[in-house]
Amino acid sequence: MLALAGCGYFSGTSADAEGGGGGKGKGKGRGGAGAAVPVLVATAVKRDVPIEITPVGNAEAYTTVSVKSLVTGELTEFFFKEGDYVKKGDKLFTIDSRTYEAALKQAEANLSKDRAQQTFAEANLNKDVASQQYQRATAERYQGLLKDGIVSRDQTEQLTSNAAASLQSVDADRAAIESAKAQIEADQANIGNLKIQLSYCVQDATIDGRTGNVAVKKGNIVAANTTEILTINQVSPIYVTFSVPEAKLNDIRKYMALGKLPVYAKSQDEPGLGEQGVVTFIDNSVDLTTGTIKIKGTFENKDLKLWPGQFLNVTLRLTTQANAITVPNEAVQNGQEGQFVYVLKSDNHVEARPVTIGERIDQDLVILKGLDAGETVVTQGQLRLQPGSVVSVGEGGGGGGRGGRGKGKQGAPAPDGGPGGRRG
């Protein structure tokens, strides 16, 4: 009995040695050619998958206004601080207005003078018209007296000549009135122009936005329409500009015909999808140097998370693919005959199955063909696998497998002095 026990103990130990420490008490273990390979697995899942394009873009101000002085003069006062948000109509700065006020008063005085001249010309016209009517009537009366021989011909001709001269005076008065009216219109136009220039001495914001750096400080002289004093960027709403490969253009246009395409933008360290907007612009040509086309999305940007010039991770969502089969990226392998996955069977053997992949969604891949929902695929440990290999799910280390668990107990005598146990 002792000899038999010794043989049993030796037999178990040598089996353990030959099998790499992985057997169940038998001479043939699983740590050698038939060892179970430790792997990690995942289950193929059926879910609705968004079809997206993920380029890099940058934020762009919705509107940018370069603020310049519209009149020449001295900057006298600012009503904001650099970087302040202003609303349309808010005062920005003032220009010394004394020169324009004096010019306006002079133009108004000229207008009053020209109106007085018009009144004087109209009075002269009335007087000359009355005189011309009297002289004409007198000349006509003397013509009748001349026929009767009562007056001389010289007197009659003198009165007729005076009547003709008075008519010329009437025409001159009318011309003077028209000239006065034209001068009045010129004065009024000049006054209107001066009033506009005077209003430009107080510069208002033309859009809602954020002010930038003030390039010209208080007390400096600025020239009209030449010196940029500051810029205002409208940041709510805001554009996000990005480029996509021209191969995607047909898909984008197809889905845009069905409705507005959502687009998301976030900074590189921000979790989630980020701010949401909609595609509002597609450029009218493809860039020949890069083979891409420019697209713009419009974002409300109420929280001001997007900033002009900022580089952003953009997600353009085209549509959602319903009931798609997805697996982790690392499950798909590349072989001589194409892409495949190792599928775990119910008996812990694996099968190499070719698959057709679709879009990549974060850390997952869409499987278009070759896999059903609920099947288990290997995600780690594929380098040691071949079709038909036995695997141990969730085990790490080498030469292990399920049989490897019994290494510490296989060759030890049983508590009752019998052969080694099969625990493990």
Higher pLDDT, 207 or 166: 207
Q: Are residues 279 and 358 in the same domain?
A: no
Residue 39 is predicted with a pLDDT of 93
Q: Which of 19, 36, 86 is nearest to 407 (CA)?
A: 19
Rounded mean pLDDT of 180-192? 94
**Does pLDDT of 215 surpass 60?**
yes
Helix (H) or strand (E) holding 312: strand 311-328
- Note whether residue 244 is domain-resident: yes
Q: Are residues 309 and 343 in the same domain?
A: no
- Note whether residue 168 is domain-resident: yes
Q: Are residues 342 and 318 in the same domain?
A: no
Q: What's the pLDDT tens digit per position in 349-377?
A: 999 999 999 888 878 899 999 999 999 99
282 Cβ contact partners less than 8 Å away, ≥ 6 residues apart: 249, 252, 253, 256, 293, 294, 295
Residue 407 is predicted with a pLDDT of 36
Rounded mean pLDDT of 135-140? 76
- Note whether residue 406 is domain-resident: no
**Does pLDDT of 256 surpass 50?**
yes
Tokens of 61: 């101000």
Q: Are residues 170 and 258 in the same domain?
A: no
Q: Are residues 196 and 253 in the same domain?
A: no
Where does a domain end: 322, 351, 380?
A: 322
- Note whether residue 273 is domain-resident: yes
Q: Are residues 180 and 123 in the same domain?
A: yes
Tokens of 104: 């306006």
**Does pLDDT of 174 surpass 60?**
yes
Q: What's the pLDDT tens digit per position in 265-314?
A: 999 888 888 999 999 999 999 999 999 999 999 999 999 999 999 999 99
Q: Are residues 136 and 156 in the same domain?
A: yes
Number of domains within the chain: 3
Q: What's the pLDDT tens digit per position in 53-97?
A: 999 999 999 999 999 999 999 999 999 999 999 999 999 999 999
Rounded mean pLDDT of 97-126? 92
- Residue 187 near residue 110 (C-beta atoms within 8 A): yes
In the chain, the percentage of residues whose pLDDT exceeds 70 is: 84
Q: Are residues 183 and 263 in the same domain?
A: no
What HEC string does 61-106 produce?
A: EEEEEEEECCCCEEEEEECCCCCCEECCCCEEEEECCHHHHHHHHH
Higher pLDDT, 222 or 403: 222
Tokens of 88: 């349309």
Q: Are residues 191 and 117 in the same domain?
A: yes
Residue 403 is predicted with a pLDDT of 36
| Mean pLDDT of all residues belonging to the chain | 82
Which region among 18-27, 114-123, 187-196, 220-229 has the lowest average model confidence (pLDDT)?
18-27
Q: Are residues 256 and 350 in the same domain?
A: no
Q: Are residues 337 and 315 in the same domain?
A: no
- Note whether residue 79 is domain-resident: no
Q: Which of 105, 88, 109 is nearest to 97 (CA)?
A: 105
Give the position of tokens 């003078």: 113
**Radius of gyration of the chain from its Cα atoms, rounded to whole angstroms:** 50
- Residue 78 near residue 92 (C-beta atoms within 8 A): yes
In this structure, the number of other CB atoms found within 10 A of the CB of residue 393 comes to 15
Q: What's the pLDDT tens digit per position in 2-32?
A: 443 444 433 333 333 333 333 343 333 333 3
**Does pLDDT of 51 surpass 50?**
yes
Interatomic CA distance for residues 120 and 114, integer angstroms: 10
**Does pLDDT of 414 surpass 80?**
no
Q: How many whole angstroms from its chain centre is CA 396?
A: 49
Residue 6 is predicted with a pLDDT of 40
Return the half-sphere exposure (C-beta side, CA atoms, 13 A cut-off) of residue 147.
5
In the chain, the percentage of residues whose pLDDT exceeds 90 is: 60
- What are the phi and psi torsion angles at 367 (to 5°)? -100, 110
CATH number assigned to the domain comprising residue 240 = 2.40.30.170
pLDDT-derived band of residue 396, with 50, 70 and 90 as boundaries? very low
Q: What is the domain extent for residue 125?
A: 97-200
Residue 310 is predicted with a pLDDT of 94
CATH number assigned to the domain comprising residue 340 = 2.40.420.20
- Note whether residue 40 is domain-resident: yes
pLDDT-derived band of residue 321, with 50, 70 and 90 as boundaries? confident
Q: Are residues 103 and 195 in the same domain?
A: yes
- Note whether residue 1 is domain-resident: no
Where does a domain end: 322, 345, 364?
A: 322
**Does pLDDT of 413 surpass 50?**
no
pLDDT-derived band of residue 151, with 50, 70 and 90 as boundaries? low
- Note whether residue 128 is domain-resident: yes
In this structure, the number of other CB atoms found within 10 A of the CB of residue 215 comes to 13
Rounded mean pLDDT of 401-413? 36
Alpha helices (H) in 200-349, listed in sequence order: 249-256
Where does a domain end: 293, 322, 351?
A: 322
